[in-house]
Homo-oligomer: A and B are copies of this chain.
Amino acid sequence: MTNLGLPVPPGFTITTEACKVFLETGSEPSSLHEEISGHLVALEKQMGKKLGQADNPLLVSVRSGAKFSMPGMMDTVLNIGLSDASVTGLAAQSGNERFAWDSYRRLVQMFGKTVLGVDGELFEDALDEAKHAKGTTNDLDLTAEDLKALVDTFKAIVRRETGREFPQEPREQLDLAIYAVFHSWNGDRARLYRRQERIPNDLGTAVNVCTMVFGNLGEDSGTGVAFTRDPSTGTQGVYGDYLQNAQGEDVVAGIRNTLPLADLEQLDKKSYDQLMSIMNTLETHYRDLCDIEFTIERGKLWMLQTRVGKRTAAAAFRIAVQLVDQGLIDLDEALHRVTGGQLAQLMFPRFAPTSETKPVAYGIAASPGAAVGKVVFDSYTAVKWSRSGEQVILVRRETNPDDLEGMIAAEGILTSRGGKTSHAAVVARGMGKTCVCGAEELEVDTKNRKFTTADGQVVHEGDVVSIDGANGKVYLGEVPVLPSPVVEYFEGTLHAGADVQGGLVQAVHRLMAHADTRRRMVVRANADNAEDASRARRYGAQGIGLCRTEHMFLGEERRKEVEHLILADNDKDREQALSSLLPLQKGDFLELFQAMDGLPVTVRLLDPPLHEFLPDITELSVRVALAEARRDPNENDLRLLQAVHKLHEQNPMLGLRGVRLGLVIPGLFGMQVRAIAEAAAERKLAGGDPRPEVMIPLVGTVQELELVRDECERVLAEVCASTGVQLDIKLGTMIELPRAAVTAGQIAEAAEFFSFGTNDLTQTVWGFSRDDVEASFFTAYLEKGIFGVSPFETIDRDGVGALVKLAAEAGRATRPDLKLGVCGEHGGDPDSVHFFHEVGLDYVSCSPFRIPVARLEAGRAAIETAGSDSR
């Protein structure tokens, strides 16, 4: 640690190298014992006494040297060096027998629990019993004799539970405690935490060994924690807790009532003033909020530990801006201090923390937010009820494109099947709509319009439920909800200068503005209609990077024409269906181009397989079979079933979709391009500035793109000729198949832009069907550490990322001005945004709700690159 001239007890550090050897070999490195000896000899020399020597014992603490606290990591062990022999020496030396036995019982308790793995409750129960016998609840009422007896009890517990004596050899205590810290790095909870927080497993931890100072030496001693500013709001002031005549863990264990830190001023003015001064020194040094552990030993203040403190998302923003205003950091550094993850947290409404309702089910937190509404079981009811002013939660086993209107109408979506990238999850995130999916305890019975919880409660259509998309909890009844002021700010309903939540909105505003000036990458939105487009603009989108056109083939009015299109067995019927769809889709584009006037709109031609527009094969087969059994066959169902059979695919994701459809169904892509071109021409004639771009999905080889390009150019020329309007519409392709990435150099010959479809690319590169694999084995894979985070959440740099990089380079080699972007969900993921910046993409496109996150992270990425360049 940098020497800041603080009163720190002497000690030494065992470096992380030893930990790494532990990780690799699973056992103590042979050199470790020697390393400890070397440090210990020096320390004993400095202190003029030996570890645990009987007459005048040197005592030490052992704690993890990790830069962050981590669940499952070994707690600190204090008073190492005490034994049956040295406890009397400590009593004599301190002139305080009670203190000596209090310290010894603490050692046996802490060592027993954290190093030897004895259940901590056994010690606590024995302590309670001792207090109970004295008729008190305050441990200070226990005398030296009581504590001596307690030590015996504790040692008996150790003996019984571990089959060995509590080690009396001081050096053995030290070594075991140090080994235990290293071992705890690899415990299940620590591994899980690191995986969740994306901390590398091989980072390792150091171990700090520190001479003891004692807060349990009497009324003039004590221990406390302090924060340089309020970690939940960022407000500067005196925050913390103090406890007299106590050792470290007593403060947080809550065995006695702590005092507010401010009260220390009256108890020990000198130490208080010194602490205030030290807090100021630390904050100036770290230029950030610090948390501090300290001990006062007989009126002398000692610093035990300090770290940059954890804080809430809101505090992170506020503190960063406060530090700028105090001149401690600049805006670049402030931007570096906040994350997209924190911003995302601030953007969702939350259930009011006063609620005491218990969840009835835990699903997957698929799309954050807090949604309350009446349960409905189908899209039709969702739309009907929401039109009459009801808030509804759409509950399904799983969703499919048929449910789209219902999902739009609902406040939230709850499914009993599917993972974080199921249809429900993906679409909900795209709409910024709360979603809990895969709540497998719920038995959803859509036919009878009810679901049943694990404990047998039955919820009927119209009952109210509340779902929390941030943690996957499902509640019965209404839980009160608080809106997000940050969203109100982005939506424009709250002014940037509004003074709410201690300046939160102002802080967000300043850091977003700075991110926008720093970032190189443009941020666009994935938006399919005018409403999403308008919202995206409010959130700062600089265009649309992905307008899916699937929805233009759905809806009551269009469904019939789409069925005609699919069932057509001759050109005439097909053309008729297409020309019925043309004016409707042109209308969609008119609205969209108006909403995004002056900004690029990348339209992806039809992508999904056709059977998605027809009924499910199993449901339909059952219906037909039952009708036949009743001798009441339905002609239309039979005809449909035939078509469904014909279009049925074993693996539809790898079947007839995307550009393949465009090449196999004559006129389909032509109709879409015509609708785009006619809408653009009409907008131009009306004085607008439409900027459509046409994007071809699922291209695997340049020949496909060339054939589609020919048709597009023909249609564009016709529309230009018939309207007299000059249209310059770029044509590009998705890069979402490994083959497209591998042959990107060839494909760039026919494409004016690439948009990486990293969702599909992840699916094909890994051989993962996202609808299937998350539910079936991703949990196991995360638990086994096969990956630290789902590759659908954060881009897999080694695999998918390597192909993105390869394709970007090959594409630019063929066509230096090739525009490169990404429109998979990764476009709004913080880590992935950094990757896309690094490989030189021009833009990321993400769902409207994630745009602020992408803007922030694109700014942070630019700063980090600049920083690493100048290093």
Q: B-contacting residues of A (Cβ < 8 Å)?
A: 617-618, 621-622, 625-626, 629-630, 649-656, 660, 663-664, 698, 700-701, 703-704, 707, 736-739, 742-743, 746, 760, 763-769, 771-773, 776-777, 780-781, 784-787, 796, 798-800, 802-803
**Do residues B654 and A763 form an inter-chain contact, with CB atoms below 8 A?**
yes
Q: Which residue of B lies closest to A801 (CB)?
A: B742
Q: Which of B655, B742, B760, B767 contacts A776 (CB 8 A)?
A: B655
A858 to B781, CA, bound (A): 41
Additional A-B contact list (13), CB under 8 Å, known A651-B653, A655-B769? A626-B626, A649-B772, A651-B771, A652-B769, A653-B767, A654-B764, A660-B777, A700-B766, A701-B799, A704-B786, A738-B765, A738-B767, A746-B798
**Do residues A773 and B654 form an inter-chain contact, with CB atoms below 8 A?**
yes
Q: Which of B660, B739, B773, B799 contacts A799 (CB 8 A)?
A: B739
Least distance between A188 CB and chain B CB atoms (Å)? 16
**Do residues B656 and A776 form an inter-chain contact, with CB atoms below 8 A?**
yes
A736 to B764, CA, bound (A): 11
**Do residues B742 and A777 form an inter-chain contact, with CB atoms below 8 A?**
no
**Do residues B777 and A656 form an inter-chain contact, with CB atoms below 8 A?**
yes
Given A663-B781, A664-B777, A700-B799, residue A766 in contact with residue B739 (CB < 8 A):
yes
**Do residues A767 and B766 form an inter-chain contact, with CB atoms below 8 A?**
no
A768 to B780, CA, bound (A): 28
A555 to B785, CA, bound (A): 37
Q: Which 8 A-B pairs have the closest CB atoms?
A: A651-B769, A654-B769, A738-B738, A739-B799, A655-B772, A649-B772, A651-B651, A650-B771
Q: Which residue of B lies closest to A700 (CB)?
A: B766
Given A650-B769, A769-B655, residue A798 in contact with residue B742 (CB < 8 A):
yes
Least distance between A482 CB and chain B CB atoms (Å)? 38
Q: Which of B629, B664, B767 contacts A780 (CB 8 A)?
A: B664
Residues of B within 8 A of A736 (CB): 767
If over half of A's interface residues share one DSSP class (helix, strand or loop), that class is named, otherwise mixed; here it is helix
Residues of B within 8 A of A663 (CB): 777, 780-781, 784, 786
Q: Which of B652, B655, B703 contacts A786 (CB 8 A)?
A: B703
Least distance between A661 CB and chain B CB atoms (Å)? 9
Q: Which of B622, B760, B765, B800 contacts A622 (CB 8 A)?
A: B622
Given A626-B629, A629-B626, A701-B787, residue A654 in contact with residue B768 (CB < 8 A):
yes
**Do residues A765 and B739 form an inter-chain contact, with CB atoms below 8 A?**
yes
A701 to B785, CA, bound (A): 11
Residues of B within 8 A of A654 (CB): 651, 653-654, 763-764, 767-769, 772-773
Least distance between A717 CB and chain B CB atoms (Å)? 17
Q: Which of B618, B743, B771 contacts A621 (CB 8 A)?
A: B618
Residues of B within 8 A of A777 (CB): 656, 660, 663-664
A337 to B592, CA, bound (A): 63
Residues of B within 8 A of A785 (CB): 703
A800 to B743, CA, bound (A): 10
Least distance between A467 CB and chain B CB atoms (Å)? 24
Residues of B within 8 A of A768 (CB): 654
Q: Which residue of B lies closest to A617 (CB)?
A: B618
> 26 pairs across A/B with beta carbons < 8 Å?
A618-B618, A618-B621, A622-B625, A625-B625, A629-B630, A649-B769, A649-B771, A649-B776, A650-B772, A651-B651, A653-B654, A654-B768, A654-B773, A655-B772, A655-B773, A660-B777, A664-B780, A700-B767, A701-B787, A737-B765, A738-B799, A739-B766, A739-B767, A739-B799, A742-B802, A746-B798
Residues of B within 8 A of A617 (CB): 618
A784 to B707, CA, bound (A): 9
Residues of B within 8 A of A772 (CB): 649-652, 654-656
**Do residues A766 and B737 form an inter-chain contact, with CB atoms below 8 A?**
yes
**Do residues A799 and B766 form an inter-chain contact, with CB atoms below 8 A?**
no
A765 to B737, CA, bound (A): 6
**Do residues B743 and A664 form an inter-chain contact, with CB atoms below 8 A?**
no
Residues of B within 8 A of A764 (CB): 654, 738, 764-765, 767
Residues of B within 8 A of A629 (CB): 626, 629-630
Residues of B within 8 A of A746 (CB): 798
Residues of B within 8 A of A781 (CB): 663
Least distance between A315 CB and chain B CB atoms (Å)? 37
Least distance between A665 CB and chain B CB atoms (Å)? 10
Q: Which residue of B lies closest to A630 (CB)?
A: B629
Q: Which residue of B lies closest to A706 (CB)?
A: B786
Q: Which residue of B lies closest to A739 (CB)?
A: B799
Least distance between A810 CB and chain B CB atoms (Å)? 11
